């Protein structure tokens, strides 16, 4: 992990620990509700792990706080600004791609704004999100192939797609040049009393 990734991992770990302790949950209780191993919860809280987006989503859903609450810097004002380069890098591809969470809202209806780049042949496969999740994607540069369930569409710069995020889906760069897209994820009903289901960004 580079220094930025290590700092982010420590900040996420501290927030997970604080949220877990505020609920008076043991490590085992959080692991059970989130559907991850106790060892993973320990590693996340210690900042020793570089957890997948899916793991962070399972933990944030279990805590009922939404992913943005785990990765954004706390800001007391209602207007939250994320400057260029300050987003949370939550996915890195083998060909240089990155999934960066740049903004998000608080529960119960969580909206996430992502800035994605995919290197040539990069692929990100996502598990189904919680029921009712919707995604909007617009390609800024290059071409992106989006697979949703059994349907596959290829989008070029300027093209957009809306699709259900509560089924398995993927983003891929079929070209030889870098691709870039904006992604918005809407997840309704996050928080106490909502059903926690495994999902992956």
**pLDDT for the residue 198:** 37
The pTM of the whole model exceeds 0.75: no
**pLDDT for the residue 140:** 97
Nearest to 201 by CA among 127, 110, 119, 118: 127
User: Does 182 score more than 60 pLDDT?
Assistant: yes
Measured distance CA(182)–CA(201) in Å, rounded: 13
pLDDT tens per residue across span 85-142? 888 888 999 899 999 999 988 888 889 999 999 999 999 999 888 889 999 999 999 9
Nearest to 38 by CA among 182, 46, 187, 170: 46
* DSSP-assigned beta bridge partners for residue 136: 162, 184
Task: Tell me which of 112 and 77 has the higher pLDDT.
Answer: 112
Angle between helices 53-63 and 27-34 (to 10 degrees): 110
Cis peptide before 108 (omega within 30 of 0): yes
Copy the structure tokens of residue 42.
């320990």
Nearest to 12 by CA among 48, 39, 38, 36: 48
Tokens 């933990």 sit on residue: 59
Beta strand segments in 73-142, E: 88-92, 98-104, 110-118, 123-126, 134-141
pLDDT tens per residue across span 13-72? 888 988 888 888 988 999 998 888 989 999 888 888 677 888 888 898 888 888 888 877
Copy the structure tokens of residue 166.
């509560």
The pLDDT of 162-181, averaged and rounded, is 95
**pLDDT for the residue 15:** 87
The pLDDT of 179-195, averaged and rounded, is 81
**pLDDT for the residue 164:** 96
């Amino acid at each position: 992990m580079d220094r930025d990734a290590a700092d982010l991992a420590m900040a996420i770990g501290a927030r997970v620990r604080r949220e877990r302790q505020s609920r008076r949950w043991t490590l085992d209780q959080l692991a059970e509700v989130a559907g991850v191993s106790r060892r993973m919860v320990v590693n996340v809280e210690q900042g020793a792990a570089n957890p997948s987006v899916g793991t962070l989503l399972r933990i944030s859903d279990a805590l009922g706080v939404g992913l943005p609450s785990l990765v954004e810097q706390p800001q007391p004002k209602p207007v939250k600004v994320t400057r260029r380069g300050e987003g949370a890098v939550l996915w890195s591809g083998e060909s240089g791609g990155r999934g960066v969470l740049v903004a998000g809202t608080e529960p119960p209806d969580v909206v996430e704004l992502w800035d994605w780049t995919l290197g040539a042949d990069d692929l990100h496969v996502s598990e189904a999100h919680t029921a009712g999740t919707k995604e909007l994607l617009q390609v800024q540069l290059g071409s992106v192939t989006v697979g949703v369930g059994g349907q596959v569409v290829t989008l070029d710069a300027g093209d957009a797609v809306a699709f259900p995020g509560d089924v398995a889906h993927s983003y891929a760069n079929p070209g030889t040049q870098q691709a870039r897209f904006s992604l918005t994820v809407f997840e309704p009903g996050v928080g106490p009393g909502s059903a926690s289901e495994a999902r992956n960004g």
